[in-house]
Chains A and B, each alone.
Chain A
């Protein structure tokens, strides 16, 4: 519950402050957000699988974000930044879909 409120607080603060993203961060932010969402859906799934562990969640959240950003950074250095971000987004989206499907199966048995 508290994390959910935290999410809301973050969104409200973001809407109120209208932060401008620094240019150097712009390519990585969307990827990092998608990676974080993947971690969140993964966490919900593991709650239902009975495997949830908050320590693992925190570590997977952070490492997801860092690895995703790092891959895109590497892609930028190699000159294939946009393809790399597309690849990362595709993979993460597939994982999100898989996790949501698992959650749905648990919740609705369908």
Chain B
């Protein structure tokens, strides 16, 4: 400690300078038993600190979730498991038939799958039961995109958007943008009023766009008008051209 006076124990510091001095002195190395003990304790503290931090970072999401959230998550998982299970059974059955050596069955299966994928990818035309939605008045790309999500969630298998002359098939990479007189869908400028043709279960599709805050609500509050028609043969004729490979 050199020039400084001997430690004055047992009374609080009087000045800030003395406080800093004491702090500094408490940090200078001293060699005795308890000092070693304290060092060991500090090593342990640092170690447990990082352990506690890295440990809690891993599953903090689940640990801090509320019980109702957890129940929801569990339900989700159970549902997904059930879906995957049924998918599994279907695929097993398909595999059985394919392995059975029946070429006709194999061909059928391939055809069925190509059709299903064609509908999803928008490379096949399709006629089936569904709904036709006509929108007049103001329409923004955001509203349209939200409506597409709602329809997809409601199990729509094919969607087409058209105005008086042009139609566009809605697939996975379709995009929407606002334009002066309507919306642009994947590069095709459509003028309002536009018509959305949807293949799917009409009893599910209709509530999906009529829910509060849904398409009908949004367009209605903007002064527009939406009409919905259910039909047994909605015609989706627009196709997405196959990319040249």
Contacts and interface: CB of A to CB of B under 8 A. Distances in A.
Interface of A: 1-15, 18-21, 26, 29-30, 32-33, 36-37, 40, 44, 47-52, 54-55, 57-58, 61-62, 106-109
B185 to A, nearest CB: 50
Nearest to A57: B38
Given A11-B46, A55-B34, A50 B12 contact: yes
B143 to A, nearest CB: 44
Given A14-B51, A21-B51, A106-B13, A58 B38 contact: yes
Contacts of A107: 16, 19-20, 23
Contact of B47 (A13, A37, A58): A13
B23 A44 contact: yes
Nearest to A21: B55
Contacts of B41: 3, 6, 36, 58, 61-62
A62 B37 CA distance: 11
B113 interface: no
Interface in B1-30: 8-13, 15-16, 19-20, 22-23, 26-29
Contacts of A1: 27-29
A109 B16 contact: yes
Contacts of B20: 107
A9 B52 contact: no
B50 A2 contact: no
Contact of A6 (B11, B16, B46): B46
B7 to A, nearest CB: 8
Contacts of B13: 48-50, 106
Given A2-B39, A3-B39, A54-B38, 4 more contacts: A10-B47, A10-B50, A18-B54, A29-B51
B48 interface: yes
Interface of B: 8-13, 15-16, 19-20, 22-23, 26-29, 32, 34-35, 37-52, 54-56
A48 B13 CA distance: 6
Contact of A3 (B9, B11, B42, B54): B42
A36 B16 CA distance: 26
Which residue of B8, B11, B13, B46 has the most chain A CB atoms within 10 A of its CB atom? Answer: B46
B19 A29 contact: no
A9 B52 CA distance: 16
Given A48-B22, A58-B34, A33 B52 contact: yes
B39 A50 contact: no
Given A15-B50, A30-B52, A58-B37, A106 B45 contact: no
Contact of B43 (A10, A18, A33, A48): A10
